[in-house]
């Protein structure tokens, strides 16, 4: 939070010289007027290739069963759960930006919330695939839902895995609604500005007859605010429930009370890293430096630094509690992480998540787009490694040395993971081509002209 | 009642301040069937137009409560009445374990009510509306601010109301066909 009466110290959230019309035209032109660029086609092509890799990996999985993955006793949760937690964590920044920053009246959110919300939805879609495929017989996924079935059975409501189903489905639904509600007025703008008949028709249908009525805006803003109020505890609950998948189990390294807050902080950490990974190329390619300014990048870098420190605290407490708790299994767990067969991953994760982000203390780094881009990629890698360490090291050596083992991913594990990156990128490329990637109507509200002055 | 020959009048304003000032004057003149159309929400406008507070928050509260009570009851009923499954002699009514799903269903039903309720109260989707007949109305989603008075209003008079709208600062007044 900046101190309020210091206008000189705070760079503006929008470039100079903009009007309602110029904002509208600039953002809608990306969708309506610009020709599809070669860069977009190449990027989309590469993403689509990896989407096909995913289709192949999933197709073969359905044919052959999850024996094609590296999971086995004792490590029955491999890449699938690592990727699930990683993807769903990435989604959290989108909800944080759209809901929590809205409630806190942070104006700088207006230019990044739209694509951050899109990122959330696509990330949750990728995340949802993994537990589904991990079921073994994914075509029976509906057994997880309470419905009147002929076996007269119910899901086990006392299981965190069932909580997960409810949490993730609710999260996906609410994120989708939030995103769509935010898009309605912008669809109306596109409807009114589209030069083509199909464009007017399709955007017209999506806008549902929005005509900017004051009465409509009144209810709209109420609904938007209420959704934000509901989404805020929801986003905290989702990664909390995900952490319960681990914390409710009794394995050393999982059975800790630090897990919920540390998972939520980690989720926001990785999510903001992903927002930076997406925002920095987007603003360069589409010349959006007026809307996504250095101040935005700086603010996100600060959040990255703060959540990174919470995550570092989580690692520290894990190690401290293992030692202080005096439980030999917990002590061995930490020792195994530091020196065991997966130690290089643990050290790499400490380097990526704790050491590297400390350079964000420097203003020079926080204002450099290229430096932030590199750091965001490192943090994303680090957070993936964190989930790998949590899932694999606790499982592969538990209480009895006779049941120890190793986990090695197969080519199909890797193909499925890389494939979801393709799915995410494909959806994102389609999104920036066909939908306004910055919320047009919310950008209009941050102009000084938007304020009503009392003249009489 | 016979249908008026036109739907109403649409007045165009330059900026938010002009619109809010005009809206207050139109309301004070006694017009009831008025509405404003803006490219973004204006906090002052509902008050200037005399718009009543929406019931939406109440609906969302009810939706959330339904999710909360319904979600808890579902879990209670499944684990205690319909299919009691005793694992390790623990209490059947293990309420702490029912909290996460109860919470998620509260949020889910509250959120669904917020969106569906907002659309329903706004009468959306509504693909056709007479206002779309005015070509300049397309600018209501870009940078122009509009005020509309329906012909069904008791004070409405085709010439007199148009004159009044110009008087309160409209830069252009157009008639809206049905």
**Could you say which residues from 167 to 226 on chain A have a Cβ atom under 8 Å away from some Cβ of chain B?**
167, 169-170, 173-174, 177-178, 180-181, 185, 188-189, 191-193, 204-205, 208-223, 226
Give the model's pLDDT for residue A10: 62
Strand partners, B28: none
Q: Which helix (H) or strand (E) element contains residue B146?
A: strand B145-150
Query: Do A193 and B128 lie within an 8 Å CB cutoff?
Result: no
pTM across the whole model: 0.91
Place A301 in a pLDDT band, splitting at 50, 70 and 90. very high
Strand partners, B9: B149, B175
Query: Do B143 and A234 lie within an 8 Å CB cutoff?
Result: no
Query: Do A218 and B39 lie within an 8 Å CB cutoff?
Result: no
Q: Which of A251, A263, A261 is nearest to A322 (CA)?
A: A251
Out of A193, A204, A217, the one facing B41 most closely (by C-beta) is A217
Query: Do A215 and B122 lie within an 8 Å CB cutoff?
Result: yes
Mutual angle of helices A214-247 and A79-95, in 10-degree steps: 150
Better pLDDT: A220 or B166: A220
Position B62 pLDDT exceeds 60? yes
What six digits make up the tokens of B160? 């007199």
Put simply, whether A154 touches B (Cβ < 8 Å) is yes
Assign B148 to helix, strand or coil: strand
Query: Which residues in B lie closer than 8 A to residue A19 (C-beta atoms)?
Result: 143
Put simply, whether A442 touches B (Cβ < 8 Å) is yes
Strand partners, B147: B11, B36
Put simply, whether A250 touches B (Cβ < 8 Å) is no
Percent above pLDDT 90 for chain B: 28
Query: Which residues in B lie closer than 8 A to residue A195 (C-beta atoms)?
Result: none
What mean pLDDT is reported for chain A? 89
C-alpha A227/C-alpha A229 separation (Å) is 5
Query: Which residues in A lie closer than 8 A to residue B95 (C-beta atoms)?
Result: none
Assign A362 to helix, strand or coil: coil
Rounded to a whole number of angstroms, the distance from the CA of A166 to the nearest CA of chain B is 6
What six digits make up the tokens of B53? 């507070």
Out of A189, A230, A241, the one facing B110 most closely (by C-beta) is A230
Q: Vertex A120, ends A118 and A122: CA angle to 5°? A: 70
* Mutation to test the A interface, candidates B95, B105, B141, B146, most A Cβ within 10 Å: B141
Place A389 in a pLDDT band, splitting at 50, 70 and 90. very high
Put simply, whether A149 touches B (Cβ < 8 Å) is no
Lowest mean pLDDT of A23-37, A115-129, A373-387, name the range.
A23-37
Query: Do A181 and B118 lie within an 8 Å CB cutoff?
Result: yes
Cα dihedral sign, B113-B117-B119-B120: positive
Place of tokens 């926001």: A268
Position B157 pLDDT exceeds 90? no
ipTM metric? 0.91
Query: Do B101 and A153 lie within an 8 Å CB cutoff?
Result: no
Query: Which residues in A lie closer than 8 A to residue B78 (C-beta atoms)?
Result: 146, 154-155, 157
Place A286 in a pLDDT band, splitting at 50, 70 and 90. confident
Query: Do A451 and B16 lie within an 8 Å CB cutoff?
Result: yes
DSSP string computed for A210-231: ---BHHHHHHHHHHHHHHHHHH
pLDDT tens string A306-350: 999 999 999 999 999 999 988 999 999 999 999 999 999 999 999
What mean pLDDT is reported for chain B? 88
Give the model's pLDDT for residue A455: 57
Position A410 pLDDT exceeds 90? yes
- Which residues, in sequence order, are CB contacts of A50 under 8 Å at separation 6+? A418, A419, A421, A422, A423, A425, A426
pLDDT mean over A97-119:
86
**Which residue of A lies nearest to B113 if distances are taken between CA atoms?**
A223
Q: Which long-range contacts (CB under 8 A, 24 or more apart) does A327-334 make?
A: A327/A252, A329/A252, A329/A398, A329/A399, A330/A252, A330/A253, A332/A252, A332/A397, A333/A252, A333/A253, A333/A393, A333/A394, A333/A397, A334/A253
Q: Is B89 left (phi over 0), alpha (psi -120 to 50) or beta?
A: left
Position A169 pLDDT exceeds 90? yes
Q: Is A16 left (phi over 0), alpha (psi -120 to 50) or beta?
A: beta
Put simply, whether A294 touches B (Cβ < 8 Å) is no
- Contact indicator for A18, A449 with CB cutoff of 8 Å: no
Give the model's pLDDT for residue B76: 93
Rounded to a whole number of angstroms, the distance from the CA of A265 to the nearest CA of chain B is 19
Query: Which residues in A lie closer than 8 A to residue B42 (C-beta atoms)?
Result: 214, 217, 450, 452
Cis amide leading into B133 (omega within 30)? no
pLDDT mean over A185-213:
90
**Which residue of B lies nearest to A214 if distances are taken between CA atoms?**
B36
In total, the C-beta contacts within 8 angstroms joining chain A to chain B are: 211
Give the model's pLDDT for residue A7: 47
Place A83 in a pLDDT band, splitting at 50, 70 and 90. very high
Give the model's pLDDT for residue A56: 95
Give the model's pLDDT for residue A456: 47
Q: Tell me how far apart the terminal alpha carbons of chain A are, to the nearest angstrom.
A: 35
Rounded to a whole number of angstroms, the distance from the CA of A268 to the nearest CA of chain B is 20
What six digits make up the tokens of A352? 């990526």
User: What is the residue extent of each domain of chain A?
Assistant: 35-231+412-448, 249-405
Give the model's pLDDT for residue A429: 92
């Amino acid at each position: 939070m900046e101190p309020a009466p210091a206008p000189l110290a705070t760079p503006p959230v929008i470039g100079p010289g903009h009007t309602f019309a110029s904002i509208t035209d600039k953002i809608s032109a990306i969708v309506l007027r610009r020709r599809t660029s070669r860069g977009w086609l190449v990027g989309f092509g590469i993403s689509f290739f990896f989407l096909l890799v995913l289709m192949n990996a999933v197709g073969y999985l359905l044919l052959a069963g999850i024996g094609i993955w590296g999971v086995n006793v004792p490590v029955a949760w491999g890449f699938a759960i690592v990727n699930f937690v990683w993807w769903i964590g990435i989604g959290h920044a989108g909800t944080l930006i759209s809901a929590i920053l809205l409630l806190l009246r942070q104006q700088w959110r207006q230019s990044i919330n739209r694509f951050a919300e899109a990122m959330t939805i696509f990330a949750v879609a990728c995340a949802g695939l993994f537990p589904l495929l991990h079921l073994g017989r994914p075509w029976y996924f509906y057994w997880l839902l309470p419905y009147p079935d002929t076996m007269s059975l119910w899901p086990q409501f006392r299981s965190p895995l069932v909580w997960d189903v409810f949490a993730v489905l609710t999260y996906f639904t609410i994120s989708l609604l939030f995103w769509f509600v935010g898009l309605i007025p912008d669809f109306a703008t596109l409807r009114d500005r589209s030069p083509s008949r199909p464009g007017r028709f399709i955007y017209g249908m999506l806008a549902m007859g929005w005509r900017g009525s004051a009465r409509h805006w009144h209810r709209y803003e109420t609904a938007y605010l209420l959704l934000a109020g509901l989404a805020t505890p929801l986003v905290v609950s989702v990664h909390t429930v995900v952490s319960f998948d681990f914390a409710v189990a009794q394995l050393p390294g999982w059975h800790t009370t630090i897990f919920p807050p540390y998972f939520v902080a980690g989720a926001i950490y990785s999510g903001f890293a992903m927002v930076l990974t997406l925002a920095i190329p987007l603003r360069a390619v589409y010349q959006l430096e007026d809307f996504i300014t250095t101040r935005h990048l700086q603010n996100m870098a600060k959040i990255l630094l703060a959540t990174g420190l919470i995550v570092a605290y989580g690692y520290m407490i894990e190690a401290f509690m293992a030692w202080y708790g005096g439980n030999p299994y917990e002590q061995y767990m930490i020792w195994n992480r530091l020196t065991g067969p997966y130690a290089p991953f643990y050290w790499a994760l400490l380097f990526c998540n704790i050491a590297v982000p400390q350079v964000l203390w420097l203003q020079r780094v926080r204002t450099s787009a290229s430096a932030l881009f590199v750091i965001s990629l490192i943090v994303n890698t680090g957070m993936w490694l964190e989930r790998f360490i949590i899932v694999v090291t606790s499982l592969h050596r538990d209480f009895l040395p006779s049941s120890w083992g190793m986990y090695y991913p197969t080519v199909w594990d890797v193909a499925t993971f890389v494939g979801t990156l393709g799915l995410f990128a494909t959806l994102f490329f389609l999104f920036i081509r066909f939908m306004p990637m910055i919320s047009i109507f919310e950008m209009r509200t941050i102009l000084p002209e938007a304020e009503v002055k009392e003249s009489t | 009642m016979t249908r008026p020959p036109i739907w109403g009048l649409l007045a165009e304003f330059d900026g938010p301040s002009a619109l809010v000032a005009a809206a207050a004057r139109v309301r004070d003149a006694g017009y009831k069937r008025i509405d404003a159309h803006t490219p973004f929400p204006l906090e002052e406008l509902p008050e200037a137009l005399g718009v009543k507070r929406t019931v939406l928050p109440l609906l969302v509260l009810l939706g959330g409560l339904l999710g909360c009570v319904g979600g808890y009851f579902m879990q209670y009923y499944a684990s205690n009445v319909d299919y009691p499954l005793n694992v390790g002699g623990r209490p059947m009514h293990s309420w702490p374990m029912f909290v996460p799903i109860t919470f998620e269903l509260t949020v889910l039903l509250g959120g669904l009510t917020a969106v569906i309720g907002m659309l329903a109260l706004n009468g959306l989707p509504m693909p056709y509306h007479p206002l779309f007949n005015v070509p300049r109305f397309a600018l209501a989603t870009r940078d122009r601010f509009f005020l509309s008075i329906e012909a069904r209003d008791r004070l409405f008079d085709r010439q007199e109301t148009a004159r009044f709208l110009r008087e309160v600062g409209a830069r252009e007044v157009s008639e809206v066909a049905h």
